[in-house]
Amino acid sequence: MNNFSPELEAAIEAMTKIMSSDEMSVLADRFNKHITYIGKIKARSIVVGDTVVWEYGGLTKTGKVVKVNRKTMEVANTGNTPFGSTITKINKSMILGKADV
């Protein structure tokens, strides 16, 4: 069985009843706006130099913020050297919070 919240279950059920591409476009637009809103709330106090934790594909990762954009952040993996750093661009909504360093 799944571990979805009641709100998500209701949203999925309602979405399956939509049979119009126009209505699905409205839903997609609302989804994108809400993801942007969630990202702004989560990243409100994060600045360049902070170490953050984010989740992607069920894995929790940690990195240092090197650039902050409107909807995304560029994060360098922890333990990188300037000569071999891996920069990952993540959506702000993926952020779980600042890391306890």
- Express each pLDDT in 35-91 by its tens digit: 889 888 888 889 999 999 999 888 899 999 999 998 899 999 877 676 777 889 999
Taking alpha carbons only, the member of 2, 11, 101 closest to residue 53 is 101
Domain count within the chain: 1
- Split at pLDDT 50, 70, 90, the class of 101 is low
pTM for the predicted model, two decimal places: 0.70
Domain range for residue 74? Answer: 1-101
Angle at 89 between CA 84 and CA 92, to 5 degrees: 140
Domain harbouring 8, CATH code: 2.30.30.140
Torsion of CA 37, 43, 48, 49, to 10 degrees: -160
